[in-house]
Chain A
């Protein structure tokens, strides 16, 4: 089945700096790659996603890039703010033949220092 590796497990950045989280996946049939943000004690919430026919997607201060050949995708947060402090999860989706499931990475705890 699909395996998703996420790095780093923790990331500390100064407010205003950029943060980058990287994920790799194993199943070349994966076709959808969402990123979730989970604040302390809250539920995970989608912040951005990318489909396999797109190489890059931006939404204000966040962007995601996808390299299908290398089977890796990354989350970029620019001009970080204290409210960006949270745990971030990447995920990969395989299609109907594999059960229409998401496989999550282990998470990255991001701390933005004021």
Chain B
């Protein structure tokens, strides 16, 4: 693994189903993030984690949950998918040391369609 990866690349999901999007980074970054990007719109933060064992809510957290059991992995779960969750999901990571903020690296994205 080099950098940050996401799986699956794309997924079509029936409404009401549970789905987990996977994100793994090998850069030993302490902070990780999940964004959604709807067609023609910007990036909206769903959840974030500044260090393993901690998570926080972003701008649009409803319907999503995350966990950060270790440094490398940050899965995003949709407990019961709805069509409005159709979007492209980007995972990102960065190395945040005290208040010195550094580049946020993005994964390749997961295109999710909920029917």
Task: Count A interface residues, CB 8 Å.
Answer: 22
Distance to closest chain A CB from B75 (angstroms): 18
A101 and B48 form a contact (CB under 8 A): yes
A89 and B101 form a contact (CB under 8 A): no
Contact of A104 among B43, B48, B103, B109 (CB under 8 A): B43
**Interface 1/0s, chain A 25-57, versus B by CB < 8 A?**
000000110100000000111100100000000
Task: Count B interface residues, CB 8 Å.
Answer: 22
Distance to closest chain A CB from B46 (angstroms): 11
Contact of B96 among A6, A34, A100, A106 (CB under 8 A): A100
Contact A43 to B106, CB < 8 A, known contacts A100-B31, A106-B42: yes
In the complex, A11 has a CB within 8 A of chain B: no
Q: Which residues of chain A have a CB within 8 Å of any CB of chain B?
A: 6, 31-32, 34, 43-46, 49, 89, 93, 95-96, 99-107
Sample of 13 more A-B contacts, CB < 8 Å, known A46-B103, A93-B101 = A43-B106, A43-B108, A44-B43, A44-B90, A45-B106, A46-B104, A95-B101, A96-B50, A96-B96, A100-B31, A101-B45, A101-B56, A106-B41
Give the 10 A-B CB pairs with smallest separation, nearest first: A43-B106, A32-B101, A95-B99, A106-B42, A104-B43, A107-B42, A93-B101, A46-B103, A100-B96, A104-B42
Q: Which residues of chain B have a CB within 8 Å of any CB of chain A?
A: 31, 33, 41-45, 48, 50, 56, 58, 90, 96, 98-99, 101, 103-104, 106-109
